Amino acid sequence: MSMIDSTHYFDWAATSPFDTEILKASLETQFECWGNPSSIYKTGTQAKKALDEARERIAKVFDVKAETLFFTSGGTESDHIPLLSILNRPEKGTILVSSIEHPALREQCAVLSHLGYNVVKINPDRKGIITSKAVTDLMTDDTLYITVMAVNNETGAINNVSEIAQAVKDKAGTKRKPKFHVDFVQGLGKIPFDLKNTQIDSAAFSAHKIGGPRGIGLLYIKNPQSTEPFLKGGGQEKGIRSGTENVFGASAFASCIEKYSVSKKNEQMYERYELQKKYINDFIRKLSEIKSCHIIPEERLDPSFNDENFSPWVIQAAFDKIPGQVMVRALDSKGFYISTGSACSAKKNSRPILEAMNVNPQLRENAVRFSFGALTTEKAIGELIEAVKEVTGKFN
């Protein structure tokens, strides 16, 4: 991607431009560690050492034990491993899945429904947020598994997953607690979070959302011994995820996490996070001044509410008389890149997340997503606003 393209790239929720410095450095290092990490001779042990070092580096950033982290092929596999582990149980029961989940979980839960599991959807409030009450109200004695994403990939809604996890534990009481999984793919590198001091059982992460390579993900499992993976193989990653490990990807992912994780320990990124709050509030205000624009949900017009409940990196909006795909193409012709929503659902006409929020059909059809990243500048955002005004001016 050219510098001009990356400057006007506003689809970071789909994927991020590569951090070329990190990828080049990681690749150079891995030329010396080309062996199979499972091999016991020198090139293999070198690769194993590099893999273990990457895991340790991530564990230090997350403040968790390295033994709780497992490398996978991406966010989807990290979502699937804990979910499919319930297939090892002799009994079938209820799975609670939020209506705003990424297709990786939403579609896989639908498959489990066909296999006889009782899949129940947890609906968000009108703002697109899943509350702890909405979750616990649906819990039953046979609930095996609950999954709620941390940050929605289309609206930016933040679900208080730590609060939900605690509420699930409290509701279970002395009975068996359902496994609670969190898709953290849109949270990593975007908002502060804590895994160590929560009742979250597992969480999924993906490298390509924060400048890393595609094809490498991470799975956190609080108590690995309690997870029996359904898919078996050579036993790599302590049996949780079989298959020859992607040492280069793991090393690059570790470097990206060190650089882009949002916490007060990472001063530079935390400052960028605070600055992005200003950028997004200014962007929302200027968008709302366009007469044909509808911010989804409209609560994001309130900066104080916006700061607490939504990621500052994602905003959903719709424009009268302009279908979403038309807006995407119109801005593309001007050199600006946005989307209508999840890249994994780009070829589908339905908008299940907006449907779950009870957004009216016309707004759903016209909705587009603007998403930002660490390299996004205030100047580029201003140029995007002007481009949107030019497009809307031709339709109204």
pLDDT value at position 3? 45
The CATH number covering residue 341 comes to 3.90.1150.10
* pLDDT on residue 174: 92
Q: Are 111 and 94 part of one and the same domain?
A: yes
Per-residue model confidence (pLDDT) at position 2: 43
Tell which of 260, 275, 291 closes a domain: 260
Do 316 and 199 share a structural domain? no
What pLDDT was estimated at residue 344? 53
Q: How many domains does the chain have?
A: 2
Tell me, yes or no, whether 111 and 210 share the same domain: yes
Residue that finishes a domain, picked among 205, 238, 260: 260
Q: Using 70 as the pLDDT threshold, list the residues of the chain that sit under it.
A: 1-5, 342-349
Residues 254 and 296 in one domain: no
Q: What is the span of the domain harbouring residue 25?
A: 21-260
Q: Are residues 235 and 384 in the same domain?
A: no
149-164 tens-digit pLDDT:
999 999 999 999 999 9
Residue 319 · residue 291 · CB < 8 Å = no
Q: Are residues 194 and 153 in the same domain?
A: yes
What does the pLDDT read at residue 216? 98
My answer on whether 252 and 309 are in the same domain is no
- Which of 260, 288, 323 terminates a domain? The answer is 260
Mark whether 116 and 190 lie in a shared domain.
Answer: yes
Are 143 and 93 part of one and the same domain?
A: yes
Q: Are residues 255 and 268 in the same domain?
A: no
**Are 287 and 332 in a shared domain?**
yes
Measured distance CA(250)–CA(54) in Å, rounded? 6
Query: What CATH number is given to the structural domain containing 38?
Result: 3.40.640.10
Q: From CA 372, how far away is CA 349, in angstroms rounded?
A: 24
Q: What is the pTM of this model?
A: 0.95
Are 40 and 160 contained in the same domain?
Answer: yes
